[in-house]
Structures are given as C-alpha cells and as structure tokens.
Amino acid sequence: ALKGGSPFQVSAALKEGRVTPTELCQKCLSLIKSTKFLNAYITVAEETALKQAEESEKRYGRGQPLGVLDGIPVAVKDNFNAAGIETTCASKMLKGYISPYNATVVQKLLDQGAVLLGKTNLDEFAMGSGSTDGIFGPVRNPWSYSRQYKEKSVPKSHSQEDEESNWVITGGSSGGSAAAVSSFTCFAALGSDTGGSTRNPAAHCGVVGLKPTYGLISRHGLIPLVNSMDVPGILTRCVDDAAVVLGTLAGHDPKDSTTIQDNFKPFDLPNLTDVSKLSIGIPKEYHAPGLSSEILSLWSKAADLFKNAGAKVIEVSLPHTRYSIVCYHVLCTAEVASNMARFDGLEYGHRSDMNKSTESMYAATRREGFNDVVRGRILSGNYFLLKQNYENYFIKAQKVRRLIANDFVKVFGSGVDILLTPTTLSDAVPYMEFIKEDNRTRSAQDDILTQAANMAGLPAINVPTGLSERGLPVGLQFIGQSFQEKQLLTVAKWFEKQVKFPMIQLEVKRHDHGAFQHQKSASFS
Amino acid sequence: MRALTLGRWLRGARGRGGARAPRRVPPARAALTAPAPRPAPVPPRPAWQRGQQRPPQRKVTVEVLDRLEHLALVDFRDAEGVERLQKAIQFADQLHEVNTDGVEPMDSVLEDRCLYLREDDVTEGNCTNELLKNAREKVEEYFVAPPGNIPLPKLEERETFLQGS
C-alpha cells in the first residue's frame, strides 16, 4: 500500500502506472471501513468517488493527467458545500440538506482530478476545540490506537474496554479531517480555521495543518462562522503536499469579494539549506499559563535548532496576546449571531412542525435544530450587539483586535521573518477528561496559541515535531507575514526535515474477520 | 555525539538580554526528546497569569433575557443557559482592562484594500428546481411560510422557563 506517500510520491506512482486511481480509491475506501470506529467521516461518497477514480484512470491512460492531484483521494470537512452530497455541519439543522453547488475550493480540487472520498466530522457548526460536539458523535484520535500510545499507557489490562475508555480526542474543530489524513484514509483534507480549528487538530493528530492568509483562498461555499476570520485550512502529511494543495486553491474568486485580486502563482518549495539569513522571533507571551513542560522543552530545542544552524533567534513581544481569546469570544459570538440567522427552516434545512406564525416556526425550528453550544453563542452574540452594549463590547473588541494585529506588524517590521511558537498547551487529552469542562471553557483554553493569527489574518502552520511522554504527537507553529506563504512553507519544510517526525504505527483490528492484524503503515507492499 | 555538560549550558544561559554569539554546540538530535536545562530565548516561565481578579458578575435582568430570546429566536432552555450567558459576559468584561484610547475599531484585516466588485451582469441562475429541492414546504415555485405579522407571545403567555424567574 502506498499509504505513506505524498502526492509527489503517489502521484509519480500513478503516472508510472505502478498503481491505478481506482486501486488507490478502493484501498482508501476499504481503510475507511476498517477505521470506522474513529468516526472521522460523516458521509462517504463511495459511488461518486469510484466514478471520479475511473475518469482519472482514463486520463492517465491517455497520458493526460490534469496535474499532480489527479486521482488523489481527498476528504473535505462537512461545512463545505459539495454538490449532490449531504452537508450537515454536524448539526440537526442541516441534516438531510443536499448541497446544490460546490464550494469554490471543492470545485478547484475536482477540477484538478482529485477524488472526493467524503465529508469529515467536526464540532457542530465548527464551534469547538475537540470535535466532540457534533450530532454524529466525537472523533477519535488515530494515535489512540497506535503502538506508540499503547506502549506508553498505564497497562491496567489491554482489554477492549480499557481501549474504549482511554482514547484521546483529535482536537477541533476539523478533527475528522485531521484524523482522516493521519490514519491514511486520504492524502489531503480540507478543514476550516477560525480560531485554530485546523492547526489544533493537526497538532494533536501529528499532521501538517496550514492556515493561509485571510483573503488568499475563497470562502465561497464554506458555511460561515466568523466572516472576518474564517479561512479554509489544509491538512496533509507533509509540508510539500500542503504547498501543492495551496497552489491549487489559492487565488482570486469573483464569488468571494474578500479574496484579494493580486495574481497568485503556485510555487514549488525550494530545499532550503542555508538559514543564516533568517530571523526567527520567539514571542514570549506564547509561554502561556498551562503550557506543558514537554512542549516548552520541545519549543526551546526547536529554537536552538535554528540558532545552531546559523539563524538569528530572538525573543519578541506581542503584548496583547492574552486578550486575543476574549476579543475572539466577543467578535465570534457577534458574527455567529448574524450568520446563524439564516437558519429559519424556510428554504433549506430542518423545519419545525410548528406553524402558528413565522416567528414561532423560526423559534421552534432553531430550538430543535441547534445544540447548546450554538444557541449559547447566538444568545451571547446578540447580547453584545444590543444597542446598550454595542460600544462597550463589540466596538471595544474591534479596537482590541487592531492592537493585536498591530503587535504583529511591529514585530515583523523590526526585521523578524517568522515566529516560532507552540500550537497547543499540551498533547491530546482523553475524551473522558475533555468532556468534564464545557465547550466555551475548553475553547478558551485550547485556542489561546492559535487564535491571534486569525485575529490578524496571518498565515500559520503546524508542523508535527515530536512525541510526548504519552506517545502522542506534539506540534510547533510557525506564523508568517501576510501573503508570504512561500517563505513560511519553506521554513516549515526545512524544520520538518530536521525533526523527522515518526510515522504512526496504527494497529487496526479487522472486526469483520475477528482477527487482530497489525498494519505497519510504512510498508510499501 | 559529544555530550554537553550541564555546567556549560548554565554558564551560557546565565547572560540575560543582548545577543550572544552563536555557541558551538553539536546539532540537536532529530528526536528532540531530552528536556533542555536552561532554554533561551524561550522564556522558562509563563509570561503572564490568567486573571485571578474576575470582574463582578452583573446579573442580567429578565427583561433583557426575554428581549434576547425575541431577537435571537432561540431560547435559553433552562437555568444553565442563563448561567452560560452570565459567564460569557463576565469573560468578555476582561476587555475593559485594555486601554484603547485613540484606537480605531478594525472591521477587516484587508481594510487597506478595495473590495472586489464585479460587473452587474447576470452570469448564473435558472436553478429554481435545485433550490426548491431542499425546502420542506413549497407550492409550485413558492416557499411556504406560516402567517407573518404575528408577534411571539409575550413572556407571560409563552411557555418558557423564564416565566419562573
């Protein structure tokens, strides 16, 4: 199986005919079935995927593949519209809703010949940091079933019940996409990133998670959470792949007026060998309270890595970092209150049977359709937008947002090229522990290191760096300057090469045969 | 790999502030497992503490809660819902610790650019059937709504948990 390959590697194999698109597609579909317990996928579009694979095979047969992504199986988070496929946002409000159109990013992937395997699981309406609060249930981190994690976990007994209760979360809200990439069921996946929703699960699942600059990639077709911060996110197994996918997706879209009009040229990542001209900033506020000592140590070793290679590594300050979560809380709930207003049951989605009046129908529909988290945010948002509160909360938050964005401008203006920070405060926690706190508390804790980049619209990427003492992935984050993705990814790629993050040794039980089989993911049989 | 003595690390790390010339140390191992003794320039201690002094919780009146339910057309469902709002407000109150005198509010990070406006030409449409497919109640090409202009019942007449407050 070519599970370990990147689009480059597997793409070369497709070109040379060592594997066919349909074989690849079938292997991935079969793996999705045997990893069903991860709950990474909400919808698997088996028939259409196989059709797309067949079309791709014909193109390869003619020697005319559309590009590197032709025939490559991909997955898309279930808050992107994909024509003919159910798009639910993991909410009762959209259960049964069949998208009549493709989101621009989905269309771009399909135009390049990618094979869309299905839609991945998430927190309801992308609100959350664990991928635990959707109507289809929580997503399980594939690393829970890795040899690396099992070896380090306290052996009470290796019974199935213990495995059942010990599994760890993926992080969120794009947990399904991260789990799908991490468990080799697809080669790339789309997520969304509003407060860290792509980078957080990427860190916990040991994959590359890229948040592009706001305005680079079209949001048309991405069901909006916070219009001024949302971006489509890219999850892949290596930085080169992320660059390829970025090249496919970036660029002006007439259907999204918030995409910039500058000409975007896809790029190949150079193999950086000399980092001596690089200036790496270490923002001190990113040593936030609660940062685990393991991650702190990994972060400093990474800083030393750059220093020893000749780069300039300096401490910098982003003084308003600690307020980014509070600011996000107000702006997010305010924009959510507005964005969720469209769900009234009239034109699409769930509709209540109540029909005494439009208002009572709307109220009942929304009562039945939204979970507590969504309702809570709508109500908070409306509170902050009340006339008596508008200046004190909403406008105030917008002012604080400028201060946060200016912090970055100052630092980059002083000669720093890239910032190096941790992505999360700790490795993935067990689900049973995660659910002890409510969604808002968790989000406030978990988004602390990722949120500011959304506030300022900057590109950021999680690169898997090492394993924690519990055998779980830990990632580090690079934050770059606006629209300087090439520089960001080049540095990330150099770093990725240095740390040589280990491959997951996934142990997948074949439930159908009842036999326990090891699947060494590195095997290329 | 040459082992690095603890003493040398400490001596090197003791100097604070000001750039130091890069030390000659062997390249870090790829696994990055062992903790560094005195990491620099990564700060060894958290740079800030979470606010211990929480601003006092201001109770939201029943009138405001009722108004919110009307505006949002979602209900609080139970006391937990109201508590959630109270906590959210308390959390947001931390914003007032920041001095924003003379700072303009920021609507968008792309504020320095012009929003793209396309020509006012029809480029797509004629998709009535597709769009109607997702609606539950429809008649011919119309979405069907219950009668409008009927306000939600007042608090006293509604079956809502807020009545008990």
What domains does chain A contain, in order, with CATH numbers?
Answer: 7-273+459-499 (3.90.1300.10)
Q: Most B CBs within 10 Å: which of A94, A97, A301, A324, as the mutation test of the B interface?
A: A301
Query: A241 near A8, Cβ under 8 Å?
Result: yes
Question: Is the preceding omega at residue B41 within 30 degrees of 0, hence cis?
Answer: yes
Supply the pTM of this predicted model: 0.90
For the segment A465-494, the average pLDDT, to the nearest whole number, is 97
- With an 8 Å Cβ cutoff, are A301 and B87 in contact? no
Instruction: For chain A, give the mean pLDDT.
Output: 92
**CA-based Rg of chain A, rounded to a whole angstrom?**
22
- With an 8 Å Cβ cutoff, are A215 and B109 in contact? yes
Give the chain B residue whose CA is nearest to the CA of A499. Answer: B30
- For residue B66, list chain A residues with Cβ-Cβ distance below 8 A: none
pLDDT band at A519 (very low <50, low <70, confident <90, very high): very low
Question: What's the Cα-to-Cα distance from B53 to each of A53, A438, B49, B60, rounded to whole Å?
Answer: 59, 21, 11, 21
Angle of helix B62-72 relative to helix A372-385, nearest 10 degrees? 110
Q: Most A CBs within 10 Å: which of B74, B122, B123, as the mutation test of the A interface?
A: B74
A295 vs A301: CA distance, rounded Å: 10
Regarding beta strands A418-422 and A279-283, do their DSSP bridges make them parallel or antiparallel, or are they unpaired?
Answer: parallel
pLDDT of residue B1: 37
Handedness of CA A438, A212, A506, A136 (dihedral sign): positive
For the segment B139-149, the average pLDDT, to the nearest whole number, is 92
pLDDT of residue A512: 40
Helix H or strand E segment including A42: strand A41-44
C-alpha distance from B67 to closest chain A C-alpha (Å): 9
- With an 8 Å Cβ cutoff, are B32 and A298 in contact? yes
Instruction: Identify the weakest region by mean pLDDT among A34-43, A73-82, A205-214, A507-516.
Output: A507-516
Which structure tokens are listed for A54?
Answer: 């067949």
Question: What's the Cα-to-Cα distance from A424 to each of A23, A202, B22, B24, rounded to whole Å?
Answer: 37, 10, 29, 31
Residue with tokens 């919780």: B57
User: Active-site positions of A?
Assistant: 77, 173, 197
Question: What's the Cα-to-Cα distance from A395 to each of A6, A193, B95, rounded to whole Å?
Answer: 45, 23, 11
A306 vs A458: CA distance, rounded Å: 22
- With an 8 Å Cβ cutoff, are A304 and B72 in contact? no
- For residue A382, list chain B residues with Cβ-Cβ distance below 8 A: 68, 71-72
Query: A7 near A241, Cβ under 8 Å?
Result: yes
For the segment A208-218, the average pLDDT, to the nearest whole number, is 98
- With an 8 Å Cβ cutoff, are A326 and B110 in contact? no
A18 vs B59: CA distance, rounded Å: 68
Number of Cβ atoms within 10 Å of the Cβ of A494: 23
Question: Chains A and B: how many Cβ contacts under 8 Å?
Answer: 268
Q: Most A CBs within 10 Å: which of B136, B137, B141, B158, as the mutation test of the A interface?
A: B136
Buried b (16+ CB within 10 A) or exposed e, A119-147: bbbbbbbbbbbbbbbbbbebbbbbbbbbe
Give the chain A residue whose CA is nearest to the CA of B85. Answer: A380
Q: Is the pLDDT of residue A443 over 80?
A: yes
